[in-house]
Structure 1
């Protein structure tokens, strides 16, 4: 299938909500030593737990570089064998492995953003520059990541819109599927993305590519989020007109003023359909999750790669969850935050009674720089177009 330079909204396509029905989910096997450590077994275990939770209700498309391909295939083969009967009865879904070289494993940010029209699905390939390029990018080079979206679309037969040179990551946008898109000013207006464009011009791009009738510009995200504070770590739609917002009641916590600014903004807004935004608070872990000496000893950073420090606070948030067809797959951090984990799961159970809440020990994803939503990218239900 070809890449095209037309405008999705002009062609009648829009970005659906994540809680709409999926065909499947894209993940990438963790390999980069500066994210997943010299021995990536702990990260692999966490990724596999996420994939098993997702595959209960939708297919998993797992990309992997050649060096780790045997490990990825071994996991997939064992999973597919174990659930062979359930997969044949569509009570579970398969894990499909394919070879693809990437610079890291952030499928949300480097995978296609999918848009839909009736029952037809197309992809969008944005320009990816490692969250800031030469200004404040987190690693270099990033060219393998930059071409992944178009390559995946071609592999699966999707027409793909070429949005270059506009820089955007999947984690920086959130849609309600009805014309409202959420972003953060701290990310989309950062100097490393599209400094040549004004806020109004960036909003116009979102309207053109996502059919965003209204853009909600949250002022900030999660404290110390190295993506310039992606929206997917601080706020998410759970249904039209309703969001969960990362929150803390502790006024001495550096997250407090950031979340408070978001709350005040959201409570003053309506969505594209004129509904007042209903905000549900989803507290962050009670105890900050920080880089330990053991963590630090495990990393192997390359030249030009952002490094970490012992005691550095990580951007831990329960909002960084994934809506699968049947579940909310959400992070847990364990240790001193067991009660926080339980509280977050109970809140989501009440807010999403139609879905099973599955918690995954995700600290070893967080130490890589993101969490469950960051390593996943949903493929909406629908068909790829036939033809070229």
Structure 2
């Protein structure tokens, strides 16, 4: 039986969390394994920043779990030994749900490493189901390849995604837009899907929406924009901005759209990095924001100001957004929230 029939829904990220999950980076699966120490430092910074607001659970491969337990002992962080191939837990982990009675469950999507871009990924494909079973949470196995970074919800029946990712033939080549839409509605209790077009330049996830736009509240959406016609993100962001300005949510509300200027373009080994302020992560009473420094100082401050006004009751906690960006993502990609509710006791 699908989750929506059992009155489960995907909550908004701003709803209370029991904890945040992070999967520790795996040197062998990195794009640039020589940067492992820098990336591991970045993940450590994420964990420490998030732990200022809520408990953190780090999933570590068995050979690293003992060392990490010693490092994080007594720091509002616990370590679980759980095998994985890659560290982007937003994508290879479960999407957590909450039922009307407060029961927490989760979706075990199929995972194919962003359209089979990396191998192996068999342990990642099993990871979500293993975690849900480990925490004795109801598990819903979805017949759909999907990464968590490709969707955002408002908790009231509206979902944001991109055509570039969800309709990409490297994910679900035999499924139509109508079938994918129906499955999203069944598994996430969604009534309205807002289909944006493409994601940002350099994003090898094929346009994950969590680099592009997100809900700030029901009826309110933040979107990263570019106003330079010579920049390859100009057409992409202006087209998506127009879609948001012309649509309504599941409650029939016209959206309040808040633009955030993108940071200046930055490159690593000839490839544009996907710098995004939209890859922030909401924690209990706070917001973890990647900033990029240097020539981005002005846009960093502007993003902080906009987010402070948008979330006046949250403390904005900035982190070094350059620490792991060469690997293709940032703090939102690396995290997944466990909603507060009933259940979720580790066996």
Using structure 1 for the length normalisation, give the TM-score: 0.86
* 1:117 corresponding residue in structure 2: 99
Q: Is 1:268 paired with 2:246?
A: yes
Q: Is 1:326 paired with 2:285?
A: yes
Deviation at 1:115, TM superposition (A): 1.0
Rounded to whole Å, the distance in 2 between the matches of 1:27 and 1:270 is: 34
Q: Is the 8 A contact 1:314 1:367 kept in 2?
A: yes
Deviation at 1:42, TM superposition (A): 1.2
Rounded to whole Å, the distance in 1 between the matches of 2:322 and 2:121 is: 25
1:77-116 residue pairs with structure 2 within 5 A?
Answer: 77=73, 80=74, 94-116=76-98
Change (3 A) 1:344 1:382: same
Q: Is 1:49 paired with 2:28?
A: no
Deviations 1:174-209 (A, max 9, x none): 000000011100000101111111111110000000
Q: Is the 8 A contact 2:275 2:325 kept in 1?
A: yes
* 1:210 corresponding residue in structure 2: 188
Deviation at 1:37, TM superposition (A): 2.2
Match of 2:278, SS state, is coil
Deviations 1:328-367 (A, max 9, x none): 1011112222222222111111111110001100212111
* 2:162 corresponding residue in structure 1: 184
Deviations 1:55-89 (A, max 9, x none): 12211110011233344223312xx2xx5xxxxxx
Rounded to whole Å, the distance in 2 between the matches of 1:145 and 1:23 is: 23
Q: Is the 8 A contact 1:29 1:72 kept in 2?
A: no
* 2:133 corresponding residue in structure 1: 154
Deviation at 1:282, TM superposition (A): 1.1
Q: Is 1:340 paired with 2:318?
A: no
Q: Is the 8 A contact 2:149 2:209 kept in 1?
A: yes
* 2:149 corresponding residue in structure 1: 171
Q: Is 1:366 paired with 2:325?
A: yes
Rounded to whole Å, the distance in 2 between the matches of 1:228 and 1:69 is: 32
Rounded to whole Å, the distance in 2 between the matches of 1:238 and 1:107 is: 22
Structure 1 spans left out of the alignment, 5+ residues: 1-5, 84-93, 292-309
Match of 1:217, SS state, is strand
Q: Is the 8 A contact 1:27 1:376 kept in 2?
A: yes
Deviation at 1:385, TM superposition (A): 7.4
Q: Is 1:7 paired with 2:2?
A: yes
* 1:26 corresponding residue in structure 2: 21
* 2:119 corresponding residue in structure 1: 140
Give the 4+ runs in structure 1 shifted more than 4 A. none
Q: Is the 8 A contact 2:281 2:287 kept in 1?
A: yes
Count of paired positions: 344
Deviation at 1:155, TM superposition (A): 1.3
Deviation at 1:369, TM superposition (A): 1.1
Match of 1:52, SS state, is helix
Q: Is the 8 A contact 2:90 2:335 kept in 1?
A: yes
RMSD (CA atoms): 1.5
Deviation at 1:39, TM superposition (A): 4.8
Q: Is the 8 A contact 2:135 2:344 kept in 1?
A: no
Rounded to whole Å, the distance in 1 between the matches of 2:65 and 2:110 is: 27
Q: Is the 8 A contact 1:26 1:62 kept in 2?
A: yes
Match of 1:38, SS state, is helix
Rounded to whole Å, the distance in 2 between the matches of 1:317 and 1:108 is: 16
Rounded to whole Å, the distance in 1 between the matches of 2:40 and 2:295 is: 23
Structure 2 spans left out of the alignment, 5+ residues: none
Using structure 2 for the length normalisation, give the TM-score: 0.96
* 1:256 corresponding residue in structure 2: 234
Residue among 222, 231, 234 paired with 2:212: 234
